[in-house]
Structure 1
């Protein structure tokens, strides 16, 4: 996954209420997920409906036990009257260059010696994230998705799309085959921004297996959104099912909290919204399946339109101005694969029985991770110039960060100069360089293999240049003096802010 700069379509939705939920347990605290801003004027957001299930009124459930299969719409009066909904989204586009960081600050603002590019904005500077109060307009089902889903994902195959503790807490209300096909429409009154273009929505019927897709959401919902919001995952169409391809499976890696986020296809017209994430993770029997379940946006919009017409609600007055009509997908744009000469900059670093990857940043300098070299003084570096030609060089470890440093970095100097290698071009603003580790939740021992810690090259580049010119390691020593704020970012922690927990 990578950070998608400058995108304002993604948002994070949190919902809370002091009243009890439909199954008699308190709906205290906040549930959260991702969402997509369909329109800026008026401010309309679409997200998955699951986070609002705990706030259905008891009398609504009592009146119709088959609500999930029989209703065509649930209006706001079906939910707790004191439900509070917040939408968190980017206030404005992030920096577009000129030596600025992702927050629009000078790269040297936090650590001049390293040019540290801050990822977390604890001071709440303007131009990053903004919170809006929102109201629930309606929840609508997508029966076409439900019918297709029930045929493809049968109970006999033991598919699960939420954690067991969620099923126990909310009982039959969160039964897999009952709630997955519901979607919520929200209004943000103060989001009105005349002149800003609406999201372009396209029909999924033009998709084919293997087409490239981009999933955008906020992993873990409202947990650390200043770090995770607008997280982009690239993948392909793994499979399609149903009339008009209402059900889409993609291998674009998503994590809990991205449900309700958007799935986009890139065509000659640019990025177009083609679906909404229904379930970012799923299990078949007891085996995890790394696919993301998506519902076609075209079918969702058609069911919203039908619900507005059938309800006779005054809300349909805003539908014509929104003009959210899904159109056919234009000619697909093909993204070139990685060039072979760039791959030659990635090397294999071997230290006894331990090995890992490294990046060649100069003719005699390789960056890798501290845990790869493991306090060794010498390593072997395997360089693959081409599929047919490679070599093995010896190198000495000239620097490693301390064990308590948040930066897991080691510097290896080769005994011989590389005469032929593709020197990578360093990013002038935010750019991933060195992958340090997977993300792990120490409280439960869970590891998320598709969410990695990476050290931005903007942190390392000044030190690399200084050492290349003078042989002075002072710049790298600064990695051991990271301040508390940086340490909190790498631990995915905050100082005092209470963070609503994600629904999943």
Structure 2
């Protein structure tokens, strides 16, 4: 029997993918904005819902995965992801809207860059990520990376803000076990042991700690600028931390950056809508100034709202305003008078109850 010969069968089967490869564009990179179109919960009432956010992190060199703070829900998987703006170029698809990692729900959405997926399937070289163009974050990513450090103490980890002279401010609960476990800071390929100069009592406001390490090892870092103007309700802010990292490869360690705004503010607390996970504790809340496009620290991230059942709400979080501690830390760094650090502690019951979120208990 003679079988018919179809030389183009395989090519034809892949041609739709090659057509799609011509349509999609490589993502722009960390800090750029995007748009997710999806149908949450698979319900026609929410058909083609649109959410916007920024690319918080990029995994892999090709890249292989994007993290975004564009809020999505179950049923959003497979939804197209576009660049924001009039052109709306297709760059990816949602692969995971809701996930569980290290004992908590992940607030970030995972997006697969279609250019990398299709290039791997068709065995062609993918186009490299495009540089950012005319986006405010482009000018400040370097400043953010230069003042944020990863802090690790035993099994606990969080973020910290470099103040200069070898000093780093972070959260007290990140370094609770510093007396029995090694305390280290990591930044831009450098790892160095640190010591605790000051720490507020456990489970007390304001949950802050001052660390010291060899300043010569941090000479490549840039001290953060602490704001002298209090946060304003409604203003746009950024959060930086280290929720996900490869502990076996810290050479290219950079913080994950999420965007949001100030929901409420008081002299003793800033509450924002930035997506915050474990690993953000001790990290900064930034104000993006204009027209210089620079960043200054408004507060230090301390906690997320958690219900009695243990559910964590990554888009509801609290930070300690820099106005609470900036003078005390600055004066101590100048004259090393430890008595001035005690000014950070506040034993007023109203402040303590506020940071215990009393009587604000979730009913969910």
Q: TM tier, shorter chain? A: 0.3 to 0.5
Which of the pair has the greater relative contact order for Cα pairs under 8 Å at 6+ separation?
Answer: 1
> Under a length normalisation based on structure 1, what TM-score does the superposition of the two structures give?
0.35
> Under a length normalisation based on structure 2, what TM-score does the superposition of the two structures give?
0.47
